[in-house]
Structure formats: structure tokens, C-alpha cells
Amino acid sequence: MSDSYDRIYAAVRRVPRGKVATYGQIATIAGLKGHARQVGYALHALKASTGVPWQRIINAKGMISLGPMRGGVSQRLLLEAEGVTFDAGGRVSLAKFGWKRRR
DNA sequence: GCGGTGACGGTCG
DNA sequence: CCGACCGCCACCG
């Protein structure tokens, strides 16, 4: 396990329930500013039983980056279970659910 | 060690 | 508002 991944996971854990964060935001918090892709890799390599709320991480468009058959559907259900709503286009309102990091 | 790929982001049209 | 292009960089074969 690399320290970078650990930081990413730590950043993801800071996202409160019912809120969502973008890859770029997580990357910044993790100290990997501009390396949003690495965040994606880190989460993809993440196992289900790690306790990391990976479902709260979405792209800048407010949409689920995962393909529908790659777990995206599951992610959406998890978010809706937390109170996050999706519009007709399958997008989340970042203005309402976007997490504003506090320190 | 090289080249292609990707859970992305920002800009341009 | 939405789609297309380019840029960045770590990971995998």
C-alpha cells in the first residue's frame, strides 16, 4: 500500500454521509492536486470491505464515472439511500450535495 | 524500459 | 447547457 493511496482513502472518509465529492476535490485534499486520475485508480483498486465510502466520489459533471455494468448502478443506489437525489440525466446537484470541505 | 490506457478536469466551440 | 479535444500522470501488460 502506498502512502498516496492511504491519503486518498483518508480524504474519502472525511466526506460526510449524504454528501458527494469530486475526484479533483479528493485529489486536492489528499495532496495530489491535479492527479484526479490517480484517485480513480485508488478507488478502483479498493475492496468493498475497507469501510471507505467510495460511492460518494463522483466526477466534476456530477455523474457516476463508473459504467452502468461496472458498479455504477450500485453506487447510485447507495447514494440515494443516503438521501442524495439524481436528476433525469442521472446527475447529482453538486450545489446541494457537493461537500464543502472544512479544513 | 516503452507504450497504451484510464472511477478525470479544464477549456473551447 | 452539452459535446468534442487536449493535457496530466500513475498503473499495467
pLDDT digits (tens, 9 = 90+) for A44-69: 988 776 889 999 999 999 999 998 88
Asked whether residue A1, judged by its CB, lies under 7 Å from any atom of the DNA or RNA strand C, the reply is no
- pTM, two decimals, is 0.93
Q: Which of residues 19-78 of A touch strand B (CB under 7 A)?
A: 22-24, 36-37, 39-41, 43-44, 46, 54-55, 57, 59-61, 64-66, 71, 75
Give residue A30's pLDDT. 93
Determine the Cα–Cα distance for residues A78 and A73; give it in Å rounded to an integer.
9
* CA→C1' distance for A91 and C12 (Å): 31
Which positions of chain C lie under 7 Å from any protein Cβ?
2, 8-12
| Residue at minimum CA to C1' distance from nucleotide C9 | A35
Q: Return per-residue pLDDT of chain A as tens, 103 residues.
A: 678 899 999 999 999 999 999 999 999 999 999 899 999 999 998 877 688 999 999 999 999 999 888 889 999 999 999 999 999 999 999 999 999 987 5
Give residue A103's pLDDT. 59
